[in-house]
């Protein structure tokens, strides 16, 4: 739909206030994923896109007038004399603040009104979109996000994201990638000196009221009524108030890549030790990561810089030799290198006893590699792992036991690689598998002797303090599993799930439906309806819906689908849930998400890859052998010319179709 290319701005008078957003445009968007648990629910969202002054941007530069973009200038008082109303200004796409100001004191005000030329907008006509056709702002946003489907080559030149500007001293080491807001207090040290994780323990000790739900990893509080109110209606930044849709739906992968909505854009990582892509997607392990990629490629600059930033090695020939031996070109291009036998040895070019990679211990946020220069080319051919792995003992005290002095004065402890990883690595693709256990040990073993807050639980073997809300959540936050073996029923937390098969086991809500069985009989992996059915409590809406909801039907003469022959198939409980409960599909006619006219079915032709809208009177189906196993129905288009009733039942013969009509 074509509309005027001018847009109404909000908060245009906020630009003079420090750290405030201004000149906002609002996008009215719809979450396109369908919640199968709440088929009537459509999430509409109004999302602001605003400007904020950069630290190097000056206020006065925002006031420069570009006269070629201005149709004419006129005072409020003159507009008032001409009979112009604030409603007309709004219709002319004037910023909302200006229209409100005109309504308040326009009669006597000498405030100037900027009447913008076509395609320009703003309080001083300072904005336009760099597009040749006219779009609504909604369409512009959707187009920008759809472009994330670009090929890899095109994406490298368009990697963008938000920057968190309030930690001015953050040194990310080698990467020029700026700090994203969702990397603050995520459990990972994104700044070399850890500024991004400073004071985050306050979130760990935060408690909520009895009528609130505490977000699992962020510690924020939301109303209890928002908990589990719809799979895609996430209210916690970490999404833990709802079950994880990436686990819940088979085949759904990375749905946030092209989706500019709150559950994607306003999202922190749900699980520890992951890498956030900044748009709701995350990698299953931190960087460097070569077996997975962010769809927006945010991980690539950082993963590559770990291996390619060699400026700390002063000798250029030494750099080139290391670059070749480690097959770093393979990391950058993603193409497999045939071999590194043509490389030159380190000892021929490096004056030092060892070379270090990278300059800082940032491999998986903890580690630095040390290669001995007397290492042979053949050894590099069979094993890319370093001779030593170094780390900061304050961040990874778990590995101090194997520390040896190799003469490097950089404040780090170093262990022989063979004492930590008793394997070889001939392909960088598998490096994440090798380091998974080391990362967990560094993250879940501490040196704490006791916990000062009653909100914390002390892991006596792992020497670490964690929030009591992390107990029995299906994930080991303490390396030796003290948090998962502790009986969390002692907490008297009414929000926990009590395993019917293990009454002494009380699980955190995030342990439910996570594809990991924690209860003895697996009740934690059932949906709420299935758990009720397991106890013989079936909601009225599930009776006679065509689905056998009793999980244990031994010695039962009747179940929830017994005596359903004359049950009304088109009822509020099943209507528009994308399943035909009526044999003629009446319960799926005239639904809000369908693109067909009144009383038409949306039918898909898989051979032509097209959808068609067809009325009931134009359908027919093959007769079924209903005595055998559950039949598979074959329904066809009928142009009314076919009269052969031997093999097909014509739907135009009756208003209500029953099993007697289609069974033979």
Q: What is the pLDDT of residues 342-381, one digit of tens each?
A: 899 999 999 999 999 999 998 998 999 999 999 999 999 9
CA distances for 496 relative to 221, 472, 473, angstroms:
16, 10, 10
Residues 585-641: pLDDT tens digits? 899 999 887 788 998 998 888 788 788 899 988 888 888 877 765 567 888 888 766
For position 187, what pLDDT does the model report? 85
Q: Which residues contact 637 (CB under 8 A, 6 or more apart)?
A: 603, 612, 614, 618, 619
Q: Is 600 exposed, middle or buried (0-12, 13-18, 19+ CB in 10 A)?
A: middle
The H or E element spanning position 81 is helix 76-81
Helix (H/G/I), strand (E/B), else coil: 22? strand
Residue-averaged pLDDT of the chain: 82
Which residue's entry shows tokens 């909302």? 96
Q: DSSP for 289-305, please give it.
A: -SS---TT-THHHHHHH
For position 647, what pLDDT does the model report? 81
For residue 358, whether the previous peptide bond is cis, meaning omega lies within 30 degrees of 0, is: yes
User: Which tokens hold the place of 394?
Assistant: 């304050």
- How far apart CA 583 and CA 576 sit, in angstroms, is 14
Indicate the DSSP class of residue 127.
B
First to last CA, the chain: 51
- How far apart CA 7 and CA 90 sit, in angstroms, is 10
Q: DSSP for 328-384, please give it.
A: HHHHHH-PPP--STTSPPGGGT--SSEEEESSSS-BTTTEEEEEETT--HHHHHH--
Model pTM score: 0.76
- How far apart CA 356 and CA 640 sit, in angstroms, is 79
Nearest Cα to 336, choosing from 327, 349, 326, 344? 327
Segment 189-193 long-range contacts (CB within 8 Å, at least 24 positions apart): 189/365, 189/395, 190/365, 191/167, 192/360, 192/362, 193/169
For position 356, what pLDDT does the model report? 94
Q: What share of the chain in percent tops pLDDT 70?
A: 85
Q: Is 474 left (phi over 0), alpha (psi -120 to 50) or beta?
A: left
Whether residue 111 is predicted with pLDDT greater than 60 in this model: the reply is yes
- How far apart CA 309 and CA 369 sit, in angstroms, is 13
**649 or 17: which leads in pLDDT:** 649
Whether residue 252 is predicted with pLDDT greater than 50 in this model: the reply is no
Segment 646-650 long-range contacts (CB within 8 Å, at least 24 positions apart): 647/622, 647/623, 648/620, 648/621, 648/622, 648/623, 649/620, 649/621, 649/623, 650/620
- How far apart CA 588 and CA 596 sit, in angstroms, is 11
Residues 433-478: pLDDT tens digits? 889 899 999 999 999 988 989 999 999 999 999 999 999 999 999 9
In the predicted model, what is the mean pLDDT of residues 291-298? 79
For position 337, what pLDDT does the model report? 55
Residues 383-417: pLDDT tens digits? 999 999 999 999 999 999 999 999 887 889 999 99
Q: What share of the chain in percent tops pLDDT 90?
A: 28
């Amino acid at each position: 739909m074509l509309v005027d290319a001018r847009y109404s701005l909000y908060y245009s008078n906020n630009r003079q206030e420090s750290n405030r957003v201004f000149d906002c445009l609002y996008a009215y968007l719809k979450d396109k994923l369908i919640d199968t648990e709440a088929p009537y629910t459509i999430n509409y969202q109004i999302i602001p896109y605003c400007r904020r002054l950069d630290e190097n941007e000056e206020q006065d530069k925002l006031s420069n007038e570009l006269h070629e973009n201005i149709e004419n200038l006129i005072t409020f008082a003159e507009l008032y004399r001409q009979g112009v109303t604030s409603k007309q200004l709004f219709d002319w796409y004037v910023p909302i603040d200006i229209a409100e100001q005109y309504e308040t004191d326009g009669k006597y005000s000498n405030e100037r009104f900027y009447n913008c030329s076509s395609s320009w907008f703003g309080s001083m006509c300072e904005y336009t979109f760099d597009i040749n056709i006219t779009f609504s702002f909604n369409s512009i946003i959707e187009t920008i996000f759809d472009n994330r489907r670009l090929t890899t080559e095109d994406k490298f030149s368009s990697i963008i994201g938000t920057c968190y500007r309030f930690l001015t001293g953050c040194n990310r080491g080698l990467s020029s990638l700026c700090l994203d807001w969702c990397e603050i207090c995520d459990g990972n040290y994104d700044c070399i000196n850890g500024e991004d994780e400073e004071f985050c323990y306050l979130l760990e000790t935060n408690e909520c009221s009895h009528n609130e739900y505490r977000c699992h990893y962020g510690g924020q509080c939301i109303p209890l009524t928002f908990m589990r109110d719809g799979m895609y209606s996430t209210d916690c930044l970490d999404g833990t108030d709802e079950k994880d849709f990436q686990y819940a739906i088979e085949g759904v992968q990375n749905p946030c890549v092209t989706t500019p909505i709150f559950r994607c854009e306003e999202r922190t990582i749900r699980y520890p030790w992951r890498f956030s892509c900044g748009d709701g997607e995350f990698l299953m392990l931190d960087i460097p990561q070569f077996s997975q990629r962010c769809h927006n490629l945010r991980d690539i600059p950082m993963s590559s810089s770990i291996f390619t930033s060699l400026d700390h090695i002063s000798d250029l020939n030494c750099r080139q030799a290391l670059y070749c031996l480690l097959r770093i070109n393979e990391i950058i291009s993603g193409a497999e290198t045939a071999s590194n036998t043509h490389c030159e040895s380190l000892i021929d070019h490096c004056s030092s006893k060892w070379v270090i990679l990278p300059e800082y211990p940032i491999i998986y946020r903890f580690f630095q590699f040390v290669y001995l220069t007397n290492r042979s080319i053949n050894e590099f051919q069979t094993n890319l792992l370093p001779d030593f792995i170094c780390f900061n003992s304050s961040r990874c005290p778990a590995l101090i036991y194997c520390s040896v002095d190799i003469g490097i004065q950089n404040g780090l402890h170093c262990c022989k690689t063979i004492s930590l990883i008793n394997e070889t690595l001939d392909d960088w693709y598998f490096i994440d598998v090798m380091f998974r256990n080391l990362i967990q040990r560094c993250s879940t073993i501490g040196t704490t002797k006791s916990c000062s807050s009653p909100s914390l639980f002390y892991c006596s073997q792992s020497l670490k303090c964690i929030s009591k809300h992390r107990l029995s959540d299906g994930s080991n936050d303490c390396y030796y599993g003290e948090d998962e073996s502790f009986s969390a029923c002692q907490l008297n937390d009414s929000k926990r799930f009590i395993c019917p098969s293990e009454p002494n086991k009380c699980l955190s809500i995030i342990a439910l439906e996570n594809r990991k069985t924690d209860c003895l009989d697996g009740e934690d992996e059932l949906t709420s309806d299935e758990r009720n059915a397991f106890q013989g409590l079936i909601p009225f809406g599930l009776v006679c819906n065509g689905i056998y909801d009793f999980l244990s039907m031994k010695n039962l003469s009747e179940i929830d689908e017994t005596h359903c022959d004359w049950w009304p198939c088109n009822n509020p409980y099943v209507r528009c849930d994308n399943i035909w409960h009526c044999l003629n599909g009446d319960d799926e006619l005239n639904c809000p998400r369908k693109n067909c006219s009144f009383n038409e079915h949306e039918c898909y032709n898989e051979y032509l890859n097209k959808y068609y809208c067809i009325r009931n009177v134009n359908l027919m189906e093959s007769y079924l052998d209903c005595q055998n196993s559950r039949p598979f129905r074959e329904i066809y288009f009928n142009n009314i010319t076919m009269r052969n009733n031997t093999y097909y039942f014509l739907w135009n013969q009756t208003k209500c179709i029953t099993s007697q009509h289609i069974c033979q």
